[in-house]
Amino acid sequence: MNVKKIVCIGAGYVGGPTMSVIAQKNPHIQVTVVDLNRDRIAAWNDLDLQKLPVYEPGLDQVVAEARGRNLFFSTDIEKAIDEADMIFISVNTPTKTYGKGKGQAADLKYIELCARQIAAIAKSEKIVVEKSTLPVRTAEALKSILDHTGNGVNFHVLSNPEFLAEGTAVQDLQNPDRVLIGGENEEAIRALVDIYSAWVPTEKIITTSLWSSELSKLVANAFLAQRVSSINAISELCEATGADVGEVAKAIGMDSRIGPKFLKASVGFGGSCFQKDILNLVYIARSYNLYAVADYWEQVIRMNDHQKERFADKIIKTLYNTVNGKNITLLGWAFKKDTNDTRESAAIYVADHLLDEEAFVTVYDPKVTAEQIYKDLDDLETRSPEENRRLVKVVQDPYEACDRAHAVAVLTEWDEFTAYYWQRIYDKMYKPAFLFDGRGLLNVQQLKEQGFMIYSIGR
Ligand code: NAD
Ligand code: UGA
């Protein structure tokens, strides 16, 4: 199987960057990324590379190199599917918000729509690659739809989950720890291995059964999130006992069996996937009557919810048990640094909790728009959009954000926060000037000396 043309359905955080790198490394293959969302495609085609819909360090250079040469972004989904030898499905797979499995199972309606569309259009043999994160055994459903609604052509389904993290997507794609390919048909597997072999050493490309590949993706995210919840649990114990979570993390992380990564205590993990994928894992375990397994993993989510709530409560308690009418400034809204993605960001829940207590909240984030911040709050449906706009102010300047604040809370670990002229911020705040560091980012000693009353998570 000689792949000359690839299409990727879904031009989001995964489809866009992944296909950009595949195109960059395989100049002889034509790669087209399609999406229903016209604005998103227009942004991917924008001549001003600062306007790409996904902010990722280094992505602009990759797009600049490949776009127009062998990388294209289009809304003509039918044409691209018709011409492609290989079709990646990279659409969103959110948690279901209705019906059976509501709040836990993955909503596969977008996946099914893609499968039906591929089946209807395809007139020649195609390799269909699951790039989205999917429940184990989805390939079975995909194959069934393709075979039963298609035009009698041959489809080979592969699973090729994506492990990139936002903020480091380009680096993760260009130098992955491993590439995982699950499948049954040797030729189809080989065709996909060949594409990655253009830049990934062969020993890092592993092939498995479809089911192992699908499940490995959910398990990888569950293990990563579990480490964050584990260290966050310890952060609370550190606060109670006088230990320092940074020191504990360093001490345990130097054990090569434990390793130093993903041991940073925080206000709670966010992002579009950790919670969604663990909920899905829990749902799958329950559907096989594996209740102990489900309860075990569910605890990772519970601990995370607790950490977000605990942080907001800490602010309220410290401010003499009331934030009513007080100005609380949140520095950072994205779920982590170096991304404009806010999905499931801890900041949303901390803000919501403070707003429940009738605080006035001011937000500054270097990459997130005011429109997005209001949308995130409106989507919670805790209060009316008018009320959100009355209580929440979004500003473009961090010093303006902290002006006349009763408390400032750091919710994202943006590098620039460490470089602020904190004395200037202190001078303009109400006293005592409370500072809450939800990321263990700031220099506690120095800020204390400047007069701040500082709380840093796990210390
Ligand atoms: P996203 O929401 O950013 O992008 C998905 C895109 O698919 C949207 O632009 C949407 O308009 C489009 N789409 C949906 N249905 C379509 C259809 N029928 N035809 C054409 N376009 C359609 O999502 P994402 O963050 O890129 O995630 C995609 C998948 O990858 C998810 O399963 C996610 O779990 C997984 N994943 C995400 C990340 C990450 O860092 N965001 C990392 C690894 C895996
Ligand atoms: C995560 C995984 O790291 C990727 O491998 C995976 O592909 C992706 O999910 C996905 O499937 O979507 P991502 O969510 O982009 O990537 O970012 P992470 O770096 O994993 O951070 C997730 C959250 O955990 C962030 O809110 C981050 O601040 C938090 N975190 C991470 C901590 O609080 N402490 C840590 O030590 C590490």
pLDDT tens digits, one per residue of 325-342: 999 999 999 999 999 999
Grade residue 124 by pLDDT with cuts at 50, 70 and 90: very high
- pLDDT given for residue 307 in this prediction: 98
DSSP states along 319-360: TTT--TT-EEEEE--SSSTT----TT-HHHHHHHHHHHTT-E
Nearest CA to ligand 1 atom 28: 92
User: Looking at the annotation, which residues are catalytic?
Assistant: 273
How far is residue 181 CA from its own chain's centroid? 22
CA 170 – CA 167 distance, rounded (Å): 8
b or e along 428-439 (b: 16 or more beta carbons within 10 Å of the residue's beta carbon)? Answer: ebeeebbbbbbb
Of 224, 341, 414, the residue with max ligand 2 atoms within 8 A of its CB, to mutate for a pocket test, comes to 224
Nearest CA to ligand 1 atom 43: 162
- Please name the amino acid found at residue 61: Q
User: What would the two tokens of residue 242 be?
Assistant: 């006088």
Nearest CA to ligand 2 atom 6: 163
**Ligand with the closest atom to the CA of 89:** 1
135 Cβ inside 6 Å of ligand 1: no
Strand partners, 364: 331
Largest Cα–Cα separation, the chain: 74
CB proximity list for 354: less than 8 A, separation 6 or greater:
312, 315, 316, 323, 328, 361
pLDDT digits (tens, 9 = 90+) for 183-224: 999 999 999 999 999 999 999 999 999 999 999 999 999 999
Closest CA to 269 of 375, 165, 419, 131: 165
**Ligand with the closest atom to the CA of 92:** 1
Grade residue 353 by pLDDT with cuts at 50, 70 and 90: very high
- Residue 418 C-alpha to ligand 1 middle, in angstroms? 33
Grade residue 29 by pLDDT with cuts at 50, 70 and 90: very high
- Please name the amino acid found at residue 79: K
- Using alpha carbons, list the distances in angstroms from residue 276 to 104, 194, 307: 7, 31, 17
Nearest CA to ligand 2 atom 2: 165
How far is residue 262 CA from its own chain's centroid? 15
172 Cβ inside 6 Å of ligand 1: no
- Residue 95 C-alpha to ligand 1 middle, in angstroms? 13
Residue 368 has pLDDT above 90, yes or no: yes
- Residue 10 C-alpha to ligand 1 middle, in angstroms? 6
Residue 357 has pLDDT above 90, yes or no: yes
Nearest CA to ligand 2 atom 28: 336
Of 20, 78, 90, 128, the residue with max ligand 1 atoms within 8 A of its CB, to mutate for a pocket test, comes to 90
Q: Is 420 exposed, middle or buried (0-12, 13-18, 19+ CB in 10 A)?
A: middle
**Other CB atoms within 10 A of residue 125 CB:** 12
| Contact in structure between 330 and 315 (CB atoms under 8 Å) | no
CA 271 – CA 294 distance, rounded (Å): 21
pLDDT digits (tens, 9 = 90+) for 388-437: 999 999 999 999 999 999 999 999 999 999 999 999 999 999 999 999 99
CA 453 – CA 263 distance, rounded (Å): 26
